[in-house]
Chain A
Amino acid sequence: MLNRIAVVGDKDSVLAFKAIGLDVFNVSSETEAKDTIKNLAKDYKVIFITDKLAQTLEHMLVKYKSRPYPVIVPIPSAEGSNGFGMQGIKRDIEKAIGSDILFKEED
């Protein structure tokens, strides 16, 4: 079964992905983003979302974390990365091991 890939974010950040064949959904408000993701989660298996948006919708994205699909991945927006994706990795480590012993010295 073939699945398409979705990209959600502000127009500046996501328009570029249209050229490489991803399905682009540009949203301008938080509530709009919420509804879009809720709908997309049913059909799409992979959803990329700008990290700025991911940060505001954090509490909502948590519930998709514990099942295999959909995979929702934060990516940097046009203004560059805000470190949300890295925070996610750090949180995973803390959850699994108890403290961030791996990358502390590098940050």
Chain B
Amino acid sequence: MAVLNVNPTRMELRRLKARLKTAVRGHKLLKDKSDEMIRRFLIYIKENRSLRLEVEKELSLALKNFMLARAVSSDAVIEEAIAYPSVSAELETSTANVMSVNVPTFKASESTSKDLYPYSFASVTSELDFSISTLSSLLTKMLRLAEIEKTCNMLADEIEKNKRRVNALEYVMIPQLEDTIKFITMKLDENERSSTIRLMKVKSMIENRDGQETT
């Protein structure tokens, strides 16, 4: 039994009761928050996983094609071909609020150029075309993956923190308050009883004395 170091007075008792009420309410709210966060987390993590599988597969393929293209043509040709890309990838970033966790969101701005390939088709092989077209179509998926993965990271962090708070309330704070309240109540009752007994004792003593004086 863990009792806080407080004076067993009525005022303290009142204060502790108020604290206990707050703690119980807070515990319930935090627990609900934890439940909802885990529910959302599960939705995100499932999407995260399938998206990652997809991106990794397609990206590996695209990079392999790129390697092939590099093997066929000389390094200088490839580097010259892509030295000045005709498109530029830019994005607007902001934060969204998921269960009071600030997570990133992106909005990719459309590239204005109509032509994806910055080189002439005569100089390089078709593997390069293929890998670049896959890569550029993959970019939106990669950005979505970035967004979701970060969301999952941060949610997992927050869930862990929240769990600690819930446990601290449930297993430390609330029992401590309850024990202390019990301790103070018992102490006060004890005081009351002892003062009653004292009064009775004094009364009987007075009665005894008065009886002796009259005889």
Residues of A within 8 A of B (CB): 1-5, 12-13, 15-22, 45-46, 48, 65-66, 68-69, 71, 73, 75-78, 80-81, 85-86, 88-89, 92-93, 95-97, 102-103
Contacts and interface: CB of A to CB of B under 8 A. Distances in A.
Contact of B45 (A73, A81, A92): A92
A92 B156 CA distance: 6
Contacts of B67: 12, 78
Interface string B109-125: 10100001110000000
Contact of A1 (B82, B93, B143): B93
Interface stretch (B8-16, B147-155, B180-188, B202-210): B147-155
B150 A75 contact: no
A36 B111 CA distance: 27
A71 B146 contact: yes
A4 B142 CA distance: 14
A77 B143 CA distance: 17
A92 B160 CA distance: 10
Interface stretch (B132-140, B171-179, B189-197): B132-140
B49 A89 contact: yes
B52 A85 contact: yes
20 contacts: A12-B67, A13-B63, A15-B70, A15-B82, A19-B85, A21-B88, A45-B104, A45-B106, A65-B153, A66-B153, A68-B95, A68-B154, A71-B147, A71-B150, A75-B142, A76-B59, A81-B60, A85-B56, A96-B41, A97-B38
B56 A76 contact: yes
B65 to A, nearest CB: 9
B154 A76 contact: no
The A interface, classified by DSSP as helix, strand, loop or mixed, is: mixed
A77 to B, nearest CB: 7
Given A19-B135, A95-B156, A69 B146 contact: no
A42 to B, nearest CB: 14
A16 B132 contact: yes
A92 B176 CA distance: 33
Interface residues of B, number: 61
B90 A68 contact: no
Interface string B27-43: 00000000000100110
Contact of A15 (B66, B136, B139): B66
Contact of A20 (B48, B87, B147, B152): B87
Contacts of B116: 20
B117 to A, nearest CB: 8
Interface in B56-109: 56, 59-60, 62-64, 66-67, 70, 78-79, 81-83, 85, 87-93, 95, 102-104, 106, 109
